[in-house]
């Protein structure tokens, strides 16, 4: 019926140059996008996908329905053996590719997050939160943190130890306040550090800490006694420290393979050399870690959406409605196209964030907000398209929706991140003189 | 006190005292029976005086859903069973207490028997009721088309009422939380971002309630296009409402403790009951053109 009219047939009538300029090849978008990357990232992307498909995907549904049956440390060690948990530093400290790190510090973690979370966002988060826990060590710019502590932690991992790290900022009375300027200025700080001979004594509680239960190392932020968040200081703790205990692990709606756990500090003595960066430098380190981590959260959301799309597409091919495959209905094609468009836009956004040599607040928050909102929409579209099959656990779509919902909350709610966009461009574009006078 | 207020008040007391305690559904259903809500002449969805009982049934289901959407859905299903003599399914999907008795498949109106019932488990939400998909089976008989359409409308209205009740409770939880939680040195209800989330949630609920109540005032005469439009509007609006409420609670909303995440799972499950999405819009368009 359409003989001679399809793009492929029409293209065939052109001469060599015309054909060269008219790309109508049947290549999936994953491959097309991969080909646009520098070769080192192409290789990395394929490596991440292979690991995700072989190791993470088979555990996805079980890790959601029965997270306690999943040994996160074992998965972590598998990833570590592939060099995937020591990538933030090159040899001799870690396994990161120096060319890749020099080209774009964020692109590697972004590619990893998409692939891991397309397979399972819960396991993906557990593996990625380790990088978040490590991030303050080099973002602080403190040579001791990098050459002493990072070397030690990565050394343990390379020796086969599950030396998982966690990043601890959220407190029971300070959730969003730990992630925004105005909130921080008025926050009720709960976690306090008091100077003593040879170091510091820490007291307080941290909540919702990803990997809090399984982590050995924790980068934790506390205010100095009698001061507010402007005095936040970053400390490197390890679980063997006396007075540091693990409280309750939350029962979450999604991303269930990664624990979100309370940490309780009761007179924890932290030696002086465990201070990361300068005393009172913690707030800056925290803010900058968020600049680096928010595009990765965007990539987590992107991965979740892509995973949902792929599973939905597979379902639409297999499932029949009135003796026709669902995918042959035009309304289904329209919906699938809309989902794919959103996923492409998400990827463009996070890859763009990775193109900046140094990540910054606006790019990170914008990518995080856009991608998490889009992921929620894509998962909801998939659920609606699949009708009652959409809410059945076996198809993995409802899990994706539950997983996606968290990306709108953590690393600062999307409302906080919108404010961060304004603040990020405050002096360059918005020019709002009373922004800090709420 | 009129019948609507009487139903709503009794249901509210019952829901708060009994349903919220998490008692077994069978025990609760027996109590609903004792309260007279399953009476054929004066109970839920009674056809005798549908104008009033429809609004009363809506109010009752909303109150029950505030505590437990699964149980409210069971009550709705049993009430229709009392009126028709069998359970009903919409597009072969039913809330069925035992999965064995005959089912009227709406809107076709076929009485199906000897079918295979697939329980839809494990699933996202509404975990305490038995949700089944009917496959195969024999058509024993057909009920009148007008009756089948009326019960399709009742079925749709009841499920929308359950979605609304659950969303209203989520909003009340979010409001209370926003009055107690401090961030940035003040209660969060004073932050514009929170005001917008709650305002939007309230708007969704008000529009849905007004439209549904209007449809219920004269359900027999309300066109099917109106009910299908409500089916497509109310459930996503309720899901969005609960999602907004979760956002107000932030990380706490995502955890099981505050009951918002369960309401969101329930709302998304209710929204997924077929027909839904673009297919529903096509059905709606076909209804418009006859």
Mean pLDDT of B264-285: 91
Tell me the CATH number at A372.
1.20.140.10
Return the pLDDT at B1: 66
Mean pLDDT of B263-279: 94
Please give the tally of structural domains in chain A: 4
Does a structural domain hold residue A278?
yes
- Chain B CB within 8 Å of residue A61 CB: no
Residue B52's pLDDT band, with cuts at 50, 70 and 90, is: confident
Q: Write phi, then psi, for A251 (nearest 5 degrees).
A: -95, 105
Shared-domain flag, residues A275 and A290: no
* B147-288, CATH topology level: Butyryl-CoA Dehydrogenase, subunit A; domain 3 (1.20.140)
In contact, B247 and B253? CB cutoff 8 Å = yes
Mutation target vs A (from B94, B189, B279; most A CBs, 10 A cutoff):
B279
Does a structural domain hold residue A88?
yes
Residue B286's pLDDT band, with cuts at 50, 70 and 90, is: confident
Shared-domain flag, residues A272 and A295: no
Cβ within 8 Å of B, A 72-131: none
Return the pLDDT at B283: 83
- Cβ neighbourhood burial of B9 (10 Å; 0-12, 13-18, 19+): middle
Residue B22's pLDDT band, with cuts at 50, 70 and 90, is: confident
Shared-domain flag, residues A239 and A290: no
Q: List pLDDT tens digits, range B209-222.
A: 999 999 999 999 99
Closest to A224 in 3D by CA, of A194, A203, A198: A194
Shared-domain flag, residues A297 and A341: yes
Contacts of A27 (CB under 8 A, 6+ apart): none
Chain B residues contacting A, CB < 8 Å? 93, 120-125, 133, 182-186, 191, 193-194, 197, 239, 243, 246-247, 250-257, 261, 264-265, 268-269, 271-279, 281-282
The angle, 0 to 180 degrees and rounded to 10, between the axes of the packed helices B277-288 and B224-249 is 150
B250: its two tokens:
């932030």
In contact, B161 and B65? CB cutoff 8 Å = yes
Shared-domain flag, residues A304 and A345: yes
Low-confidence ranges of chain A (pLDDT < 50): none
**% of chain B residues with pLDDT over 70:** 99
Does a structural domain hold residue A437?
no
Contacts of A320 (CB under 8 A, 6+ apart): A326
A437: nearest CA partner in chain B: B184
Does a structural domain hold residue A131?
yes
Q: How many CA atoms lie within 13 A of A311 on its CB side?
A: 30
d(CA A378, CA A374): 6
Contacts of A52 (CB under 8 A, 6+ apart): A115, A116, A118, A119, A124
Return the pLDDT at B49: 82
**Total residues found in chain A within this entry:** 438
Distance from CA of B283 to the nearest CA of A (A): 12
- DSSP readout, A204-269? EEEEEEETTTT-SEEEEEEEETT--GGG-EEEEEETTSTTEEEEEEP-BSS-TTS-EEEEEEEEEE
Contact B182 A188 (CB under 8 A): yes
DSSP A327: G
Q: List pLDDT tens digits, range B97-145.
A: 988 899 999 999 999 999 999 999 999 999 999 999 999 999 999 999 9
- Chain B CB within 8 Å of residue A62 CB: no
B182: nearest CA partner in chain A: A173
Return the pLDDT at A35: 97
Shared-domain flag, residues A62 and A113: yes
**ipTM for the complex?**
0.96
In contact, A298 and A346? CB cutoff 8 Å = yes
Does a structural domain hold residue A435?
no
| Structural domain boundaries, residue A343 | 284-430
Return the pLDDT at A139: 96
Q: List pLDDT tens digits, range B144-178.
A: 999 999 999 999 999 999 999 999 999 999 999 99
Residue B289's pLDDT band, with cuts at 50, 70 and 90, is: low
β pairing state of A192-196 and A199-210: antiparallel
- Chain B CB within 8 Å of residue A365 CB: no
More confident residue, B287 or B167: B167
Torsion, Cα A251 A255 A258 A262, to 10 degrees, reads: -40
């Amino acid at each position: 019926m359409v003989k001679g009219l399809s793009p492929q047939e029409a293209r065939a009538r052109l001469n060599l140059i015309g054909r060269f300029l008219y790309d109508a090849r049947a290549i999936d978008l994953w491959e097309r996008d991969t080909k646009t990357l520098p070769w080192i990232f192409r290789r990395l992307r394929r490596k991440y996908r292979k690991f995700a498909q072989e190791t993470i995907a088979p555990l996805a549904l079980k890790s959601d329905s029965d997270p306690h049956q999943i040994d996160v440390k074992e998965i972590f060690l598998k990833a570590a053996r592939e060099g995937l948990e020591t990538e933030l530093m090159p040899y001799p400290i870690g396994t990161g590719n120096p060319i890749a790190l020099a080209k774009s510090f964020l692109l590697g973690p972004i590619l990893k997050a998409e692939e891991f979370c397309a397979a399972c966002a819960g396991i993906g988060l557990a593996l990625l939160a380790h990088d978040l826990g490590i991030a303050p060590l080099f973002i602080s710019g403190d040579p001791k943190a990098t050459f002493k502590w990072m070397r030690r932690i990565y050394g343990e991992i390379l020796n086969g130890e599950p030396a998982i790290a966690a990043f601890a900022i959220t407190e029971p009375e300070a959730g969003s306040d730990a992630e925004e300027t105005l909130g921080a200025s008025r926050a009720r700080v709960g976690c306090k550090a008091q100077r003593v001979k040879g170091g510091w004594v820490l007291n307080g509680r941290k909540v919702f800490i990803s990997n809090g239960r399984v982590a050995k190392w924790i980068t934790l932020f506390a205010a100095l006694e009698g001061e507010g968040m402007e005095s936040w200081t970053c400390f490197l703790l390890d679980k063997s420290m006396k007075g540091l205990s693990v409280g309750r692990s939350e029962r979450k709606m999604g991303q269930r393979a990664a624990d979100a756990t309370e940490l309780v500090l009761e007179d924890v003595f932290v030696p002086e050399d465990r201070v990361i960066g300068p005393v009172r430098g913690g707030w800056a380190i925290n803010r900058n870690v968020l600049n680096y981590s928010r595009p990765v959260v965007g990539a987590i959301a992107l991965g979740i959406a892509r995973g949902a799309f792929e599973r939905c597409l597979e379902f639409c091919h297999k499932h029949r409605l009135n003796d026709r495959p669902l995918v042959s209905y035009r309304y289904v094609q329209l919906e699938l196209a809309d989902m794919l468009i959103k996923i492409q836009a998400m990827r463009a956004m996070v890859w763009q964030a990775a193109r900046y040599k140094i990540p910054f607040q606006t790019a990170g928050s914008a990518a995080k907000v856009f991608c998490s909102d889009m992921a929620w929409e894509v998962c909801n579209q998939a659920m609606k398209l699949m009708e009652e099959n959409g809410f059945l656990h076996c198809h993995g779509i409802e899990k994706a929706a539950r997983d996606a919902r968290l990306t709108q909350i953590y690393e600062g709610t999307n409302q906080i991140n919108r404010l961060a966009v304004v603040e990020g461009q405050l002096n360059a574009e918005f020019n709002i003189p009373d922004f800090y006078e709420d | 006190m009129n019948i609507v207020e009487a139903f709503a008040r009794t249901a509210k007391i019952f829901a708060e005292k009994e349903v919220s305690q998490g008692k077994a559904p069978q025990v609760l259903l027996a109590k609903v029976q004792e309260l007279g809500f399953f009476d054929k002449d004066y109970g839920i969805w009674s056809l005798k005086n549908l104008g009033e009982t429809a609004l009363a049934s809506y109010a009752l289901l909303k109150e029950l859903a505030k505590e437990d959407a699964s149980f409210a859905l069971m009550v709705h299903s049993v009430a229709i069973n009392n009126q028709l003599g069998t359970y009903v399914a919409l597009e072969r999907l039913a809330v069925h207490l035992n999965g064995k008795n005959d089912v009227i498949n709406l809107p076709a109106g076929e009485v199906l028997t000897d079918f295979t019932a697939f329980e839809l488990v494990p699933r996202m939400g509404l975990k305490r009721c038995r949700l089944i998909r009917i496959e195969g089976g024999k058509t024993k008989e057909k009920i009148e088309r007008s009756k089948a359409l009326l019960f399709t409308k009742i079925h749709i209205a009841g499920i929308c009422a359950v979605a609304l009740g659950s969303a209203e409770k989520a909003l009340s939880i979010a409001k209370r939380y926003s009055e107690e939680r401090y961030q940035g040195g003040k209660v969060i209800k004073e932050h514009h971002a929170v005001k917008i989330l709650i305002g939007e949630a309230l708007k969704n609920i008000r529009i849905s309630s007004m439209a549904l109540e209007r449809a219920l005032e004269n359900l027999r005469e309300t066109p099917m296009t109106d009910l299908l439009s409500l089916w497509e509007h109310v459930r996503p609006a309720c899901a969005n409402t609960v999602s907004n409420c979760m956002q107000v609670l932030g990380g706490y909303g995502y955890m099981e403790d505050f009951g918002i995440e369960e309401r969101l799972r329930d709302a998304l499950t209710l929204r997924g009951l077929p027909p839904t999405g673009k297919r529903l819009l096509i059905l709606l368009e076909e209804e418009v053109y006859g």
